[in-house]
Amino acid sequence: MRTWTRLGSAKLCGACNAVIQEGTPLQVLTLPTVTRPLLRCQACAVGPCPSDLPQPAVVQPADLQGRMATLASVAVQFKRPTPPKLVAVPKKQAYRGEAPPVQPDMLNDLPMRTRR
């Protein structure tokens, strides 16, 4: 299917690689076997350009600051919890409050427990 349109941004012609400036009429070819449309400039297009083509719609830039603030507030809700700290506790001593200082040679004899 062949249609004529005006685009809001500059594109390249698919046949001659000429730059099609913003607002210039171009022919768009859509084929059932091709996923993206083929663009043709006025020189490479088949048939004349109609004179009643509308101007391209003006697209307003997105409010990126507002969107980023929204995403940041949502991201805080899904932060991973910090893992519990591992504390060495002697086998025969009950854990009460702070753990006693552990010598490096004692670490092999002590079981590891998690403190919450």
Give per-residue pLDDT as tens, 39-63. 999 999 988 988 888 887 776 767 7
Query: What pLDDT score was predicted for residue 38?
Result: 92
CB-CB contact of 88 with 110 (8 Å): yes
CA–CA distances in Å: residue 45 to residues 18, 22, 50, 58: 12, 17, 12, 25
Q: How far apart are CA 115 and CA 96, in angstroms?
A: 11
Query: What pLDDT score was predicted for residue 111?
Result: 60
Question: pTM for the whole thing?
Answer: 0.48
Query: What pLDDT score was predicted for residue 113?
Result: 62
Q: For residue 112, what are the β-bridge partners?
A: 88
CA–CA distances in Å: residue 47 to residues 21, 42, 105: 20, 9, 89
Query: What pLDDT score was predicted for residue 116?
Result: 55
- Predicted confidence (pLDDT) per residue in 21-39, tens digit: 988 899 999 999 989 999 9
CB-CB contact of 46 with 27 (8 Å): yes
